[in-house]
Amino acid sequence: MTAMTAACYPATAMGFNEYELEADMTDVIEASHMVAPKMLIADDDPDVVRLLADRCVKLGFKVETASNGMQLLIKARHSHPDIMIVDVNMPELDGLTVCTRLLDPGSKPVDVVVVTGSTDPTTAERCESLGLFYGRKGPEFWKSIESSLVEIYPTMADRIEEQKMKSTGNEVHERPRVLVVDDDPAIQMFLASRLGKLGIDTLYASNAVHAYRIACKARPSVVITDNFMPDGDAQYLLYRLRGTPATENIPVFVISGQALNELTEQNLRREICGRPGAAQIFKKSFDTHELFGALQQYCGFEKKQAKE
């Protein structure tokens, strides 16, 4: 058998970077000359996309990805996938809204596995009413995906079981994570309290060096950083993040207690190594509506929780 290459695009709110996932066909499903099913994976968390794409390619799927609801809708209508794995809370359009638009009686049938970190029982109920499969993010995430895949593709059961034995325990977090970088503990506590009400977990760093190390290990959904800090400012942190493959596409919001001049803002927004600079720049304020409104575009938290 020949090698199969599945084109895949890591989903980030800052855009796509094409990369290839390769799987040796001798190590892929050996059903009788079956055509590889087309799968579309949509999630705004690049780590989730990476995990799902890697494992599903090894199972024999031809994988394409999207990072938000609008991209999912466009790609699904263009490529007509056989199966989709769709996150509920994504920027621009939520996953269930996209599914209702795509599940038209006159369109090609498509199996859908909906995934979420939410504990809201109405999500599972909506999935059941639409005839969708359902999986929870967390420690049993991949197990729930396997269960759905076996039900949809019974002939893959042996292959899925075989791959299960080879899989490493990649962690999938139930809630989005934001890294707050500020040398003022009061700012950290204030933002953590507000972010918690949005259903977002918070990581902390008091300087750019510490923030870079945390970002490399934890890969947060978004970094919110003070501009002026000891041991490296926001510009320094941006250079470190953009120069590392694991963190090069993490969106960065810069907040400042002082008004920044036009040149400073231009430098913060400027591309670094071909990657975006600061996604947003804000002045520190107790009014977080503007900050969290922008955060919603990059980090698909549940809007119903966004209460202060």
**What is the token pair recorded at 143?**
């197990």
Is 98 within 8 Å of 86 (Cβ atoms)? yes
Among 136-145, 274-283, 293-302, the range with the most confident prediction by mean pLDDT is 274-283
Strands 280-283 and 62-66: unpaired
Residue 204's H or E segment, with its range, is strand 201-205
Q: For 229, what's the count of Cα atoms within 13 Å in the CB-facing half-sphere?
A: 28
pLDDT of 165: 60
Q: 129 by DSSP, 3-state: which?
A: helix
Token pair 């791959």: residue: 163
- Pairwise CA distance, residues 278 & 285, whole Å: 18
> pLDDT grade, residue 10 (50/70/90)?
very low
Angstrom distance (rounded) from CA 308 to CA 244: 35
Structure tokens given for 245 = 């493959």
> Residue 275 gets which letter from DSSP?
B
CA distance 196 to 282: 20
Confidence band for 211, pLDDT divided at 50, 70 and 90: very high
Give the C-alpha separation, 215 to 196, whole Å. 19
pLDDT of residue 105: 67
| Residue, of 219 and 4, whose pLDDT is higher | 219
The secondary structure element, H or E, covering residue 267 is: helix 262-269
> What distance in Å separates the CA atoms of residue 53 and residue 47, rounded to the nearest whole number?
10
Chain centroid to CA 237: 21
Residue 101 identity (one-letter amino acid): R
Domains in the chain (CATH in brackets) are 4-166 (3.40.50.2300), 177-305 (3.40.50.2300)
The larger pLDDT score, comparing residue 107 to residue 268, is at 268
List, for residues 58-117, the tens digit of each pLDDT value. 888 999 999 888 999 999 999 999 999 999 888 778 888 898 888 776 667 889 999 987
Q: What is the pLDDT of residues 212-252, one digit of tens each?
A: 999 998 888 899 999 988 788 999 999 999 999 888 888 99
* Identity of the residue numbered 268: L
Token readout for 6 is 């599945």
